[in-house]
Chain A
Amino acid sequence: MNSTTVLLIVHGLLAVALLGALTHQALSVWAPARKPAVSFVGRFRAVPGAGYANAVVVLYLLAALLGAIIYPEYRISVRTVLQQLELRPAEGAFEVKEHFAAIGLGLLPAYWYYWRLPLAPEHARTRAMLTSILAFIVWFGFLVGHVLNNIRGFGV
């Protein structure tokens, strides 16, 4: 297994952790549990969202850093294959992913600021939207990355 493949796996694992944190947090702000949760979904959304903010920022930065490190290999080994096979939607999906991820980076300071304790009730909508956008970006990036890896991985 080459180093790029190892980094890609770690990148994917960080994304999974990030997905979990952001999805928990997004559900906790849009559909907070009103009573002690008994079901799986109820417990999933009953988390204290603020407790995830620091972890989300660190995980996002680490996932982005690893993505940036393996990106050149994608440009050389994967994108050229997508172009040769004329898989324009797959190529375009990665372009969208890279720009969404970049925009997510710019949201991190605001996201972190509005999740600071004690939570300001007047900024609940801002917190919810920032969290949802980051969750969407990470879900989109994860799915696109997964599909692209199925089309053409980095090899062994």
Chain B
Amino acid sequence: MTAPSVIVFAVVYAIAYLICVEGNYALFTYHPAINEFGMGVQKAKDGPAMYWYGWLATSGIVAGIAGALATLLPQGAARHLWPASTWVVALAAMAAFCWLLKGFFLR
């Protein structure tokens, strides 16, 4: 692992996960009541549909590709990657989720 790859992975993963949840871009769907997986986003059948695993997979793949590509960055460009962006973007994503889910707590 290199500094550019871990920085890019962390930043892209947090953003991709937020987008995946908001747009429901799950790589696959799990139907727990019937113990069945299906590719992509599927409607619930015989119980709830679970997209969380699919969101993790989508964002993990996207961030993995971005992190791998970051290793190809020339040293000059890689030096401009800001290590603090790893936690700044994660904190921003956490705040965004609190905002998006505020309806559960505010009536």
* Residues in chain A within 8 A of chain B (CB atoms): 68, 71-73, 75-76, 79, 88-89, 91-93, 95-96, 98-100, 102-103, 105-107, 109-110, 112-114, 123, 125-126, 129-130, 133
Contacts and interface: CB of A to CB of B under 8 A. Distances in A.
Closest A-B pairs by Cβ, 6 of them: A92-B104, A106-B13, A72-B32, A129-B87, A110-B86, A110-B6
Q: Which of B52, B98, B101, B103 has the most chain A CB within a 10 Å cutoff? A: B52
Nearest to A136: B94
Contact of B63 (A68, A72, A106): A106
B50 A130 contact: no
16 contacts: A68-B52, A72-B30, A76-B47, A92-B101, A102-B55, A102-B59, A103-B90, A106-B9, A106-B13, A106-B14, A106-B60, A109-B67, A110-B86, A110-B87, A112-B1, A126-B84
Nearest to A108: B10
Is the contact region of chain B dominated by helix, strand, or loop, or is it mixed?
helix
Interface in B67-106: 67, 83-84, 86-87, 90-91, 93-94, 97-98, 101, 103-105
Interface of B: 1, 3, 5-7, 9-10, 13-14, 17, 21, 30, 32-33, 47-48, 50, 52-53, 55-56, 59-60, 63, 67, 83-84, 86-87, 90-91, 93-94, 97-98, 101, 103-105, 107
B87 A99 contact: no
A102 B86 CA distance: 14
Contact of A106 (B10, B91, B97): B10
A97 B91 CA distance: 14
B53 A103 contact: no
Nearest to B5: A109
A105 B90 CA distance: 11
Contacts of B107: 88
Contacts of A72: 30, 32, 50
